[in-house]
Amino acid sequence: MHTYSDRRCALLVTYRPRHWILHRPAWSVATRGIDDMAEGSSGKWNVPQLEFKEIVGTNVRFLYVFGNIIPEFRTKGQTVWYLVYAVTFVGSIYVSMLTSEVINMVVVMGDLEKMTEASFLALTHMIQVGKLYYIYKYRNRLGSLIKSIDRYEFRPRSIYQYNTLKEYIRDSKRITNTFLSACVVTCAFWSLYPFTVEEELRLPLAGWYPFDTSKSPAFEITFVYQAVASTINGLSNICLDTLMSGLIMVVCAQFNILNDSLKNLREYSKDELDVNARFRKEMSVELQNKMDEKLWECVVHHRYILEYAFQFASEVTFLFTYSILGQFIVSVIIICITLFEITLLPWGSLKFFSLILYQLCMLLEIFLLCYYGNKVIVESMELTKCAYHDDWIDCSTKFKRNLLFFMTRSQVPLKLTAGGFFTLSLDTFVKASLHIGTSYGSHLTCLPFQILKSSYSYFAVLNRVHSKKI
């Protein structure tokens, strides 16, 4: 059986920079497994236990309800019943609504106003069905990624770090709940809008059905179906998108607490020694050994952050590469179409405000991925500075050399990409460039487009064509 000390030696081989060797500290760690070491997280450092995977807990629970992710059941019978429920739910809500919208787009082909009315939701639902397909196909890999959030190396080492992770969990829940609320309000506006116009009562959304929806009770049934299905579609889509941003927030949070561990390496080492050690300014053998141990923990923590990030990038490649690429491209079209739709509506109407809200949600979904991707870059760039700011002047030569090796390794910032196509950063949000990676890590930039500028340009062309027809 491999001990914790043995695992650290194995990790050293993959972590070392090119021809440098990071010297193993002289101190020895008790040969306990990682599960045993976890007990020290609450006793030795007096830090409460924390389920950090709760950062995506709201998303996962909603996706269970919507039949998008299969929970782990104790019996096969429960699994079979859930699969029947999921297939029925997905078929009646997602597939049926998308089929209705696509056929309607074909039927109204040539009518500019009806095409724009029919296409903005249809395009969103196309991308959503693609996400659901990959979620189901690689559900085991996604489950493994979510479980790895609670690994031992990611646990907080101090009360400050515990509170930092709790704040990230609260932020993730606030973001998800805000988007879910905005979705419900938007869909409610769509459903109420037909009652606010003087025209004959009609369905809230465009769609094709193999029966006459103008007669009762077909009209009432279809009306309720569209109201419920559009809300569920929206909630499910938001849960998928904020799940992505939540997983990126895990990387941000871990870099944040690693930076704290590096800046306060000496103080945390003193805290674990006797009470009198906290007030001593001079370096002792005991304190030096403890600092060596703490530095090594930072090295291992950094190694596992990179491992999680690479695993995350790999899973994104399988799960969301084409979905995110499609999201960026379709967002340009949807923003253009909704801008055009807004110009056709009376200012201040319910549908006017609902499209404004829908527009904001589309932009913010992309912004979230780019914002937290950019935060990963910023936090990873802070590692070298935080390591330098530690109180290392009177430490041993070996400690300084190991610290220097770590600082050299951490100078390269971590960048998350959507399967090699986009770097998730604020620069991408303003100007998205398509990157095609090569085996040597370089990239070729092609198909440059600016999401917001491109959307407005297409809207201007669409509006001009419509004005000429009038």
| pLDDT over 90 percentage in the chain | 17
Q: Does an H or E element contain 147, and which?
A: helix 139-147
pLDDT confidence bin for 49, thresholds 50/70/90: confident
* pLDDT tens digit sequence for 382-418: 988 998 888 888 888 888 898 898 888 888 888 877 6
Give the model's pLDDT for residue 119: 77
Q: Is the pLDDT of residue 296 over 70?
A: yes
Selected residue with higher pLDDT from 314 and 173: 173
Cα–Cα distance, 140 to 371 (Å, whole number): 28
pLDDT at 69: 85
Residue keyed to tokens 């950063």: 425
Tokens of 426: 């604020």
User: pLDDT (tens digit, 9 = 90+) per residue, 339-351?
Assistant: 777 777 777 777 7
Cβ contacts of 82-91, under 8 Å, gap ≥ 24: 90/66, 90/132
pLDDT, residue 356, reads 81
Return the H-helix or E-strand segment holding 63. helix 57-65
**pLDDT higher than 50, residue 229:** yes
Question: Is the per-residue pLDDT at 171 higher than 90?
Answer: yes
Token readout for 270 is 């003193």
H-only helix segments in 67-111 = 76-90, 96-107
Closest CA to 315 of 140, 440, 432, 168: 140
Write down the pLDDT at residue 274.
65
* pLDDT, position 6: 38
Model pTM score: 0.77
pLDDT in tens, 235-244: 998 998 899 8
Q: Please tell me the predicted confidence (pLDDT) of residue 419.
A: 58
Asked which of 47-61, 183-197, 290-304, 334-348 is least confident by mean pLDDT, the reply is 334-348
Q: Which of 19-28, 282-291, 428-437 has the lowest mean pLDDT?
A: 19-28
